[in-house]
Amino acid sequence: MTRLSFNFRQLLNTMWFLPAAFSAIAMLTIALAFYVARWAPDELPVSISQEAIESVLQILATSLLTVAVFALSTLVSALSSASAATSPRAVSLIIGDRGAQTSISVFIGAFLFSILAILGLSAGIYSSAGRLLLFSVTLAVVAVVIAALIHWIAQISNIGRVGQTIDRVEEATAEALQTFEDHPLFDGRLLEGEPTGRPVFAGKLGYVQHFDAARLQKLAEKHDLQIAITARPGAYASPLRPLMLVDGAFDDEVLLELVSAFVVGDQRSFESDPRFGFVVLAEIADRALSPAVNDPGTAIDVVGTVTRLLVDWHPGEADGDATNDRLAVPALAARDLLEDAFRPIARDGAATVEVVTHLLGSLEVISTVNPYLRAAALAMARDATGRARHALHAPADLEALETAAAFAR
C-alpha cells in the first residue's frame, strides 16, 4: 500500500468526508437538472407546477435538518458510551463505520439538495422540463432518504454497544492480519542478524502508522542504498528508535525523501498494525474486569474473539524473489501477538477462575491447531497459570486451574 492509498483510507474514515461528498453530489444534481433540461423538447406529456415541487422540498428541508441533528447526537452519545464501556482506542472504528456515516450523509445531502432546489425554484431558473426533471430527482431523493432512515433505525440499537464494538475491532484486526499474511515483510527481505548503516530518525515523536515500501525501494535503487527497517508499524519513533538503518551515501535531500515514506502519528493505526487490534481487545477485557464494572463475561467474549483470530492464522511465507529486494524487514514475533492479547487478561483476571479457565482453554486450542504459535501459546499458558496460582485460594478453584493448565506442563 502506497502512502497516498493509506492517507486516502484514513480520509475515508473521517467523520466529515462522506457528508461533504454527499453535499457536493446534491449541488451537482441541482446544476445538472438545470442544464440537462435545455435539451428537453418544448412539448411535454406531463407538466409539474412549481408549487407541487416546493411543497415536497419544504417538507424535506424542515424534517431532514431535525433528523440529521438527531442522528449526529445519537452518534456522539454512542461514541461516549463506547469510550467509557470499552476503550477510547476503539472509537475511531465507530467513527469510521460506513453504515452510520452513509445514513448521516444522506440526511445532510438531502437537506442541502432541498434548500438549493427551493432557492432555484424561487428564482425562476427552471423551465417546465427542468421542473419535471427536478421532480423526478426529488422522488429519488425521497426514496433514498426513506431507505437511509430505515437503515439508521436498524443500526441505532447496536452502535456503541460493547458487543458491536468488539465485533468492529475483530473485523479491523482480521483485515490487518490478512494484509500481514499476504505481505509479511512488505514484499522485502527478512532482516537477519544485527543491521548496520546510518540511522534515520523521524522528524517528530509518534507511532509509525505505515511506510511506503515501494517508494523506499525506488529511492534505494536510484541512490544505490540498502535499507534495514527497524520500526515496523506500531513502533514508537523517537531519538532512541530510528526508523531505519541505511547503507550507502546520501545527502540531506535524500534523507528527507526517506523519512517522508513513513507516516508517523500520535495514535497507532489498525490498517498496517495487527498488534494494535489485540491491544484494543485486551483493553476492552481489562475494562470489563475492573472492580467498577465486574463483567467477566465480556472478558470471556474477548478471549473467544482472539481465539478466532489466531487459531488458523499464520504469517505467510517470505518471498524468495522479493519485489523490494533492497529492503530488509524484521519479522513479527508470535510471542508479541499473544502477549498483547492475553497478558493483560491473565494479569487482571487471575483471581476470576472462569476467566482463567477460558483463557487456558483458548491457549490450548491455539497451541494444538496452530504450530506457528504453539511455543508462544504454551509460554503464555504457563505465565497465566503462575499468576492464577497466586491469586486463587479456594481449593475447588485451584483444582479447576490445574486441570485446565495440564496441557502446558
Q: % helix / strand / coil in the chain, to the nearest 5? A: 65, 10, 25
CATH of the domain spanning 187-265, picked from 3.90.1170.30, 2.40.50.100, 3.30.70.270, 3.40.50.2000: 3.90.1170.30
CA distances from 218 to 224, 225, 227, 231, 354 (A): 10, 10, 11, 19, 53
Task: Give the chain's radius of gyration (CA, Å).
Answer: 28
Residue 139: pLDDT over 90 = no
Of residues 237 and 124, more confidently modeled: 237
pTM for the structure as a whole: 0.81
Q: Domain extents for the chain?
A: 3-160, 187-265, 271-317+332-408
Q: Nearest-CA neighbor of 261 among 221, 202, 207, 206?
A: 202
Looking at residue 222, what is its pLDDT?
92
- Residue 239 Cα to chain centre, angstroms: 28
Which residues, listed in sequence order, are joined to residue 198 by a DSSP beta bridge? 246
Q: At what angle do helices 3-12 and 17-36 cross, to 10 degrees?
A: 80
Looking at residue 108, what is its pLDDT?
84
Looking at residue 323, what is its pLDDT?
84
Q: What is the largest CA-CA distance in the chain?
A: 92
DSSP assignment of 303-331 equals: HHHHHHHHTT----PPPSS-TEEEEEEPP
Q: Nearest-CA neighbor of 305 among 266, 341, 275?
A: 341
Looking at residue 37, what is its pLDDT?
60
Average pLDDT, the chain: 85
Give the tens place of pLDDT for each residue, 321-365.
678 889 999 988 889 999 999 999 999 999 999 999 999 999 999
Give the tens place of pLDDT for each residue, 148-175.
888 888 777 777 788 888 998 999 999 9
Q: At what angle do helices 162-182 and 296-310 cross, to 10 degrees?
A: 20
Say how many residues make up the chain. 409
